[in-house]
Amino acid sequence: MAKKRKRNMNPKQKEYLILLFIIVLAAVSAFGVYKGFGKEHKGSARNIELGLDLAGGVSITYQINEKNPSETDIKDTIYKLQKRVEGYSTEAEVYQEGSKRITVEIPGVTDANKILNELGKPGDLSFKLEDGTEVLNGSNIKSADAGTQKDNGMDNYVVSLSMDKKGAEAFAEATTNNIGKPIYIYYDGEVVSAPTVQSAITDGKCVIENMENYEAAEELATTIRIGALPLTLKEMRSNVVGAKLGQNAIKTSLRAGAIGIGIIIVFMSVVYLLPGVLSGVALIIYIILNLFAINGFNATLTLPGIAGVLLAIGMAVDANVIIFTRIREEISAGKSVINSIEAGYSKALSAILDGNITTLIAAAVLWVKGSGTVRGFAQTLAIGIILSMFTALFVTRHLMLVFYEMGFKDKKFYGAARQFKVRNYVKASRYCIVASVAVILLGFIFMPINKKQIGNILNYDLEFSGGTAITMTMDEKITDQLEKDIVETVKGTVNVKTVQSQKVVASDQLVVKTNELSVDDRQKLEDALKGKYKIGDYQTEEITASVSNEMKNDAIVAVVMAAIFMLIYIAFRFKDMRFGASAVIALLHDVLVVLTVYSVARLSVGNTFIACMLTILGYSVNATIVIFDRIRENLRDNHLVKQGIDTVVNTSISQTLTRSLNTSFTSFITVFVLYLIGVASIKEFTLTLMAGIICGCYSSVCISGPIWYFMRTYGDKKKAAQRAEKSKKNKKRK
C-alpha cells in the first residue's frame, strides 16, 4: 500500500489564515480600546493615563536639604507625602527623582496655591500637655479625617484620629492623667487646636469634636496629616496647569489626527493605487494597536506625547512608501506582480530596519535624559515606531498577498515606476552647502541681537532660565497696550524690576516671565491679574536656576549621545565609517538649521527643545539611511561603478527622490494640521518639528550623499597617491 501524502497548505489558504489572524487581532484590540478587559477595563482608551499638561493639576519637585539622606528617610518622606497628597486626589503620585529630589504630581486639582502652601510647609507637628511635655508627634499619627456626626439632630463637625502602637500607649497615659484638661496640638510652633480630654483614650483612636464647620475640620485634619517629615524639603520647581486647557488640547489633537490621517489615506490611495488603499487599512489597524499599547504599557500621555503619536503615524507610512516604490521598480524591470511584491519587501527590509532603529536610539536617549512630558513623548514615539514596523512588514504585506490571491494580479492595480532623470546632485551640493552655511550663520548673527534685546542669546523658556512663568489665555484681544499694562501690573504687584512678556504664535495666549516668586506672591499676583483682566485660563510654573542649568546640560548631552550612538550603529551596519561620519555631519547641519529657526523667530527654548532636536535627528537619519542603502546596493553594479562614484551617488539619490518627498509630505501633514488647529502650547513645538522635517528631507538629498562622495573620493585619491609614492620608491631601489 502506498503511503498517504501529507497535504500541504496552499498559498491562498495560508494567506486567508493570516488575514483571519489580523482581523481577530484588530477586533480584540478595538474592543480593548473601546471597552477594555476585566473590572478595571484594562486597555480602554478612557483609562489612558493623562499627564498634568492634559489632565490639569499641580506638579512640584522638592530638593532634599540634608547632605547625606539615608534611603530609609527618603522612603519615609515619600510615604508621608503620598499619604498627604491622597487627600487631594486618589490619582496623586509621589516619586524619587535622582538622588536628592522628590516629585509630587496631583492631577485634576483646582486650588493649586493652597496645595503649594500646604505641601511647602513640611513642618513639625506635636501634641503637648499644659506643662509643655510632648505626648506624641506627627510620626505617631496614622490617619486624620474630617467628618460629620449627628448630636441631638444637629451636625457635629469632627476630626477622627488613629495612632500607631507607640502613640496609642503614650496617649492612653496622657489622657488618663489629664481628664478635663486640654491637649495642645502644635504645628510649626503654633497652636492649631486645643481639645479638652473628656475621658481616657486607650485604643489609639480619638475624635476632636465641635469644630466650627466642616471646612475647619478638614483644615485641621490636613494639618495633622502633614505631620513631621523625616527630611526637610525646598521647592525647586512647580507647575500649575488648568484642566480646561488640557481638555481643549485633547479635542483639537484628536481632530487634527483625524484630518491628517484622512489626508494621508487619500494621498496614498491616489499615488500608490491598491497598495496605497491597503496601507490605509493597515494605518487604521496601527492606530488601534497604538492606543491599546499606550494603555497596556501604562504610558502617560502628554501634549508632546500626542505630537509623538501623530508624528509616528506619518512615519508609519514611510516604510510603506519605501516598499511600494521598490515594488514598482521591480514591475518596471519586467518581473511578475507576485515576484515584485516579494522582491520589494526583501530589498526594502534593511533600509526600514536601520532607519527605525536609529529613530529608536533617539527615543531611548530622550527617555534616559528627559523628564516629565519629554519622557512621555519618547515613550509614545518608541511604541509608535515598533508598531509601524509590524503593520508595514506584516499587516500590509499579507493584505496585499490576500488581494493578489483574490484576483488582483494585474499590474495596473500596482502601477509602475516612472522613468527618473539622473541629476547631478554631487555638483549641486556645493551650492547647497554654501546656502546652508549662510542660513546657519544667520542664526549665530541673531544671537548677539537677541542678547541685547531679550537678555539671552536664545529665548530660553523657564526650564532653561529659572524663575516664574505665567501663561494666560485671554478672553480679550491682546493688544500692545494690554500687554504693556499686564507687565506693569506684575511689576507693581510683586515688586520686581525685570518682567518679560511674549504673545504665543497664532493664539490668544500671553506668557509673562519674571524672577522666582514665593507661593504667597504667586497667589497675590494671580488675584491681581484675574481681578483686573479677562483671563480664561491661568497656569504658572516655577523653576529654580540650579534646575534650569541641569536641563541645559542634559539637552547638550542628549544630542551628543544620540549622534554618537547613531554614528556607531551606521558605521557598524554599513561597514564604512564614512557613511556614519557623513550622516552625523548632515545631522549636525539639521540641528544648526533648526537652531537658526529658534534664534531668528525667538521661539521658546525649553524642555521640549530636547525632544524636538532628537526627533529631528531620528527622522533625518531615517531618510539618509534610505539613500545610503541604495548607494551600498548600487556599488555592486559594475556598470554604474565604471561610470564613476559620482554617478552611483547621483543615481541613488534620483532613485529614492520620490520616496524622500512622499514620506516627508506624510510626516509633515500630520504635524502641520496639529499646528493649524492645535492648542497654543503645542504650536511652537510643532512649528520646529515641521522645520526639522523639511530640513531633514533637504539634507538627506542634498548634503549626506554628496558628503559621503567627497570623503570616498578624497580617501581614494589619498590611497592612490600613497600607492604612486610607494611605486616610485620601489623603482628607485631597483
Q: Which domains does the chain have, with CATH numbers?
A: 62-119 (no CATH), 123-228 (3.30.1360.200), 243-442+549-720 (no CATH), 467-543 (3.30.70.100)
Q: What is the average pLDDT across 341-368?
A: 84
Distance CA 82, CA 496 (A): 35
Distance CA 362, CA 689 (A): 14
Q: What is the average pLDDT across 150-162?
A: 87
Instruction: Out of 108-112, 309-313, 467-471, give the one with best mean pLDDT.
Output: 467-471
pLDDT at 138 over 90: no
Q: What is the mean pLDDT of the chain?
A: 82
Least confident of 317-331, 390-404, 559-573: 559-573
Q: Per the structure block, which three cell numbers stand in for 35?
A: 471597552
Confidence of residue 63 (pLDDT cuts 50, 70, 90): confident
Q: What is the average pLDDT across 379-406?
A: 88
CA-based torsion, 192, 194, 195, 197: positive or negative: positive
Query: Quick check: 157 and 214 in contact, CB under 8 A?
Result: yes
What pLDDT is attached to residue 580? 82
- Please return the burial class of 491, using the count of CB atoms within 10 Å of its CB with bins 0-12, 13-18 and 19+: middle
Q: What is the average pLDDT across 5-32?
A: 79
Counting residues of the chain whose pLDDT is more than 70, the rounded percentage is 85
Three-class HEC string of 444-472:
HHHHHHHHHHHCCCCCECHHHHCEEEEEE
Distance CA 201, CA 199 (A): 6
Distance CA 294, CA 300 (A): 8
pLDDT at 728 over 50: yes
Q: What is the average pLDDT across 121-150?
A: 83
Within 10 Å of residue 496's Cβ, how many Cβ atoms?
17
What pLDDT is attached to residue 2? 44
Distance CA 375, CA 304 (A): 9
Q: What angle do the packed helices 11-34 and 243-296 form, to 10 degrees?
A: 140
**H or E segment and range at residue 535:** strand 535-543
CA neighbor of 610 nearest in space, from 539, 657, 651, 561? 561
- CA–centroid distance for 26 within its chain: 26
pLDDT at 547 over 80: no
Distance CA 353, CA 572 (A): 14
pLDDT at 12 over 70: yes
Phi-psi region of 189 (alpha: psi -120 to 50; beta: other; left: phi over 0): left
Within 10 Å of residue 252's Cβ, how many Cβ atoms?
18
**What are the φ/ψ torsions at residue 677 (nearest 5 degrees)?**
-115, 0
Which ranges of 86-130 does DSSP label H, i.e. alpha helix?
A: 112-119
β-pair partners for 158: 147
Distance CA 634, CA 186 (A): 81
* 137 CB-near residues (< 8 Å, 6+ apart): 124, 125, 126, 127, 227, 228
Distance CA 208, CA 693 (A): 64
DSSP 536: E
Q: If you write DSSP's letter for every residue of 221-259 in order, what string do you get? A: HHHHHH---SS-EEEEEEEEE-HHHHHHHHHHHHHHHHH
> Which pLDDT tens digit goes with each residue over 595-629?
998 899 888 777 667 767 767 776 777 778 888 88
Distance CA 313, CA 315 (A): 5
Distance CA 664, CA 669 (A): 8
**What are the φ/ψ torsions at residue 8 (nearest 5 degrees)?**
-85, 150
CA neighbor of 125 nearest in space, from 37, 193, 24? 193
Q: Per the structure block, which three cell numbers stand in for 331?
A: 514591475
What pLDDT is attached to residue 577? 82
Distance CA 69, CA 432 (A): 56
Least confident of 355-364, 410-419, 611-620: 611-620
Instruction: Out of 102-116, 533-547, 589-603, give the one with best mean pLDDT.
Output: 589-603
> Which pLDDT tens digit goes with each residue over 179-220?
999 999 987 678 889 999 999 999 999 999 989 899 889 888
pLDDT at 330 over 50: yes
Least confident of 437-441, 464-468, 574-578: 464-468
Q: Per the structure block, which three cell numbers stand in for 229?
A: 517629615
What pLDDT is attached to residue 668? 87
* 734 CB-near residues (< 8 Å, 6+ apart): none
β-pair partners for 469: 513, 541
Query: Quick check: 452 and 459 in contact, CB under 8 A?
Result: no
What pLDDT is attached to residue 1? 41
CA neighbor of 88 nearest in space, from 241, 230, 228, 221? 221
Distance CA 466, CA 478 (A): 25
pLDDT at 554 over 80: no
The whole-model pTM stands at 0.69
pLDDT at 437 over 90: yes
- CA–centroid distance for 125 within its chain: 40
Confidence of residue 110 (pLDDT cuts 50, 70, 90): low
Higher pLDDT, 615 or 290: 290
DSSP 77: H
Query: Quick check: 490 and 469 in contact, CB under 8 A?
Result: no
Q: If you write DSSP's letter for every residue of 18-50 in order, what string do you get? A: HHHHHHHHHHHHHHHHHT-BTTTTBT-GGGPEE
Query: Quick check: 322 and 351 in contact, CB under 8 A?
Result: yes
Q: What is the average pLDDT across 686-691?
A: 84
CA neighbor of 615 nearest in space, from 564, 689, 672, 554? 689
Q: What angle do the packed helices 243-296 and 645-677 form, to 10 degrees?
A: 130
CA-based torsion, 119, 123, 125, 129: positive or negative: negative
DSSP 701: I
Q: If you write DSSP's letter for every residue of 603-661 in order, what string do you get? A: --BSHHHHHHHHHHHHHHHHHHHHHHHHHHHHTT-HHHHHH-HHHHHHHHHHHHHHHHH
